[in-house]
Structure 1
Amino acid sequence: MSKRVVILGAGESGVGAALLAQKQGFDVFVSDLGELKDIFKDELDNAGVLYESKQHTREKIFNADVVVKSPGIPDTVLMIGELREKGIEVISEIEFASRFSKAKYVCITGSNGKTTTTLLTYHILKTAGVNVGLAGNIGQSLARQIALGDDKEWYVLELSSFQLDGMYQFRADIAVLMNITPDHLDRYDYKMENYIQSKFRVVQNQKNDDCFIYCLDDENITKELAKRDIKARQFPFSNFKEVSEGAFCINDEIQFKEREDVMSVFVEQLAIQGQHNRYNTMAAGIVARLFQIRKPVIRESLLSFKGVEHRLERVLSVRGMEFINDSKATNVNSTWYALESMKTKVVWIAGGVDKGNDYGELKELAAQKVKALVCVGVDNAKLLESFKGIVPTIVETNSMQEAVKSAYYLGDKGDTVLLSPACASFDLFENYEHRGRLFKECVRNL
């Protein structure tokens, strides 16, 4: 009798897992409390995979041998607890997919910068001719790629804490931890310690010949490292301190060190600018050095990388005002880096679903740089309270169109209008991409 695999959640990762499970000869069932997108319905229908939407039928789920859970479903959901009590294995799509591939993995996580670092790392490896794929919290799911037979020698994976929470036997050959700042605390009982432990799952199961790349400037990482015995080779990166192996920035030059070998690149030459992008560049560059990619190829890749949509993306200049789309800034720390990189007065568009945000660390920068704050969200009370008396002008809006128009009227020639929400998008938008696309559309319609 074939093993029964039940998949909870029918998004990209869930459908990919379903296709892979079926290919492996399992008895497969997909269940989603929401409405399935037509594209995913068609795929499941064409593959002959049974599914249900707008409900979870217990008798069809609790007879599973393995449950593959969407990262969007919290571990605190009653059904997940009951499944585990029954001894049914509940895992993530990455954990499931990796069991059917001999690939090696570069795994990148962190509260901020992971998408840019993942895409930059992939760009360098791909340019160098490495047989590499891209998956995780970005693009096509790992399970789908393996199911379609497009298996690679290496994968660069962007991993969220939610994905890491469902990973147990999986091992990263190269683990990258960018930073740990408060985010998603609503999923971790509002305890920072729980969130830190989740991020550190990226190093679980690592061996002596694996590699761990991390930010030496991040206090949460260094404090946790002091408590742990990390088996992997360690490669720190820093904007302030010289390191014997890893990367650091000195006199506007980034130096990469691996054993006795040194390579450097001038910050001003990088295609992506800003303090946060120095960190992203250092992490991706260390990975490239570990692959022993030729220095000219690494340098050329760092200078040719185009950046990430919705991350400090220049949209247009209107009446002498620059409009910047940083919709991917879904937490306070990410917005700090955005404001820190601004060279002009800022009209700042922010707001959305608050995830337990503490806006304290933004107040100094806001006082220096922000001339007006445009709130766009269902509930803006916390933003209003935090920046009252700090930002001279604060207005509330109920749509992106209204927010962009307000920002336009509040700005002057030479100013920057910055969408950097510091919040999740789910009150008014489908996701941060939808929010960013709407922003760009509204700017173009001015």
Structure 2
Amino acid sequence: MKLVVLGAGESGVGSAILAKAHDYEVFVSDFGKIASKFKNMLDEQEIAWEEEKHTEELILNASLIVKSPGIPDKVAIIKKAKEKGIRIISEIEFAFTFNSDLPIAITGSNGKTTTTMLTHYLLKEGGLDVGLAGNIGDSYAGQVAIDPDKRYVLELSSFQLDGIETFRPHIAVITNISPDHLDRYEYKYENYIDAKFRITMNQTSEDYLIYDADDVEIEKWLDSHEISAQKIPFSLTKKFDIGAYVEDQKIIINMNSEKVAVSVEDIALEGKHNVKNAMAATTVAQLMKIRKQTIRESLSSFQGVEHRLEQVSKINNVQYINDSKATNINATFYALDSMKNATVWIVGGVDKGNDYDELMPLVREKVKGIICLGVDNHKIQAAYSGVVDTIIETQSMVEAVKIAEKMAEQGDNVLLSPACASFDLFESYEDRGRQFKDAVRNL
């Protein structure tokens, strides 16, 4: 059986290796350049590959195509494959068929990386043999090729969920939903929301869906759709007989007559959004029968995620904070909301259809100066020019940080929280965050 992998990044190469291990005839095609480390991995496995092109006669005779989540359906080769009736799936779907233990899967517009890493940490500290994969770390397929019997904690994007057919997590989590990636969903918010809920489409009554009951879009979708999974809500404002809530500065997890209480002050991560992330992760740990004491200790020792409200350094009593992973308005809302002091805000990049008015109350209250870091900053300028006295444009991280240092006074914060994708000036949000940290350390 011939399998073609489109896209030779982490997920694509992992899929190719897994396919080779199961005796598929494998061909890998990437329209861009393939990184040398991935070329070496493919060569070691004797897997044929091509770069900077898609050769139709080598692709369109496939029985199955595994598509990278970054490739949209409107690409010519995908359209032609669909016309020929070739089955097209994601790495997640392909790897799942060879993974014997039902995974734990986490999605959401924001918070999914922190929740995934915290969930993995709680389960590992609790003594379970769990892997970490999906939108984070090493490829799910690549890990399944080595260890197919492990349970995996997966961070999943809507793009990865678009390519599933039979994928069924035992526990699914939806952290929240806010407008993101609408360019991939015909600019229809409802299409993006439906994509997120694909996480639960194959679940049965033996499985669980954990979700934010404060999220209007999640509640609306659940009110109008039937699902088979057992629903477990979490909330900062409501109480549940089964679910997670906050009472007297404690997170309470109520589950089948079992109750876990954790003081909010004992959670290492700060901010309301991280209370929610902790609720979701703790609910998973409770379902997986992790000891209460282990859960409490692990919540207080977890160190957080790089590029997500990461405290980089304090210089001249100014705190520099790296939130490069905030690539949409909702993520930046959480960041600004958690600022206790006056803030110099570094913002901008590739706009994904942002409505900057949503941040207006927080900008008025917390932001003393804005540094635009992007090729096209006119929307940011237009939104805040009458609200913030100082708005400066720049196209280099070093320059942005130097200007921020001049603007900031003792006791202030300098916050990189771009609300945009990074690809105009940087390779990725990680590259953007690392450049910020390097520039701060060189002040």
Q: Report TM bin, short chain.
A: over 0.9
Aligned: 1:334 with 2:299: no
Aligned counterparts of 2:381 and 2:211: Cα–Cα separation in 1: 35
Give the drift of 1:320.
1.2
Name the structure 1 match of 2:44. 46
SS at match of 2:103: strand
Name the structure 2 match of 1:389. 386
Aligned: 1:252 with 2:254: no
Structure 2 counterparts to residues 118-157 of structure 1, below 5 A = 118-147=116-145, 149-157=146-154
Name the structure 2 match of 1:216. 213
Q: Deviation per CA, 1:272-323, whole angstroms, max 9, x where unpaired?
A: 0101101100000000110111100111111110000000000011111000
Corresponding residue to 1:376 among 373, 386, 398: 373
Name the structure 2 match of 1:400. 397
Name the structure 1 match of 2:91. 93
Give the drift of 1:78.
2.5
Name the structure 2 match of 1:266. 263
Q: Deviation per CA, 1:16-63, whole angstroms, max 9, x where unpaired?
A: 001111111111000001111010011111111000000000000000
Structure 2 counterparts to residues 155-166 of structure 1, below 5 A = 155-166=152-163
Corresponding residue to 2:237 among 240, 261, 264: 240
Residues 352 and 423 in structure 1, CA contact (< 8 A), matched pair in contact too:
yes
Residues 104 and 153 in structure 1, CA contact (< 8 A), matched pair in contact too:
no
Name the structure 2 match of 1:171. 168
Q: Which structure 1 segments of 5+ residues have no match?
A: none
Aligned: 1:102 with 2:67: no
The aligned amino acid for 1:286 is T
The aligned amino acid for 2:107 is T
Q: Deviation per CA, 1:337-357, whole angstroms, max 9, x where unpaired?
A: 000000000000000000011
Name the structure 1 match of 2:283. 286
Count of aligned pairs between the two proteins = 443
Residues 351 and 377 in structure 1, CA contact (< 8 A), matched pair in contact too:
yes
Aligned counterparts of 2:202 and 2:148: Cα–Cα separation in 1: 23
Residues 131 and 152 in structure 1, CA contact (< 8 A), matched pair in contact too:
no
Residues 376 and 396 in structure 1, CA contact (< 8 A), matched pair in contact too:
yes
Give the drift of 1:251.
2.4
Aligned counterparts of 1:192 and 1:399: Cα–Cα separation in 2: 33
SS at match of 1:104: coil
TM-score of the superposed pair, with normalisation by structure 1: 0.98
TM-score of the superposed pair, with normalisation by structure 2: 0.99
The aligned amino acid for 1:235 is I
Report sequence identity in percent.
Answer: 56
Q: Which moved more, 1:176-185 or 1:383-392?
A: 383-392
Give the drift of 1:153.
3.0
Q: Which moved more, 1:243-252 or 1:327-336?
A: 243-252
Residues 30 and 52 in structure 1, CA contact (< 8 A), matched pair in contact too:
yes
Aligned: 1:367 with 2:364: yes
Structure 1 runs, 4 residues or longer, greater than 6 Å off: none
Give the drift of 1:152.
4.0
Aligned: 1:59 with 2:62: no
Residues 99 and 150 in structure 2, CA contact (< 8 A), matched pair in contact too:
no
Aligned counterparts of 2:375 and 2:314: Cα–Cα separation in 1: 28
Aligned: 1:416 with 2:378: no
Name the structure 2 match of 1:186. 183
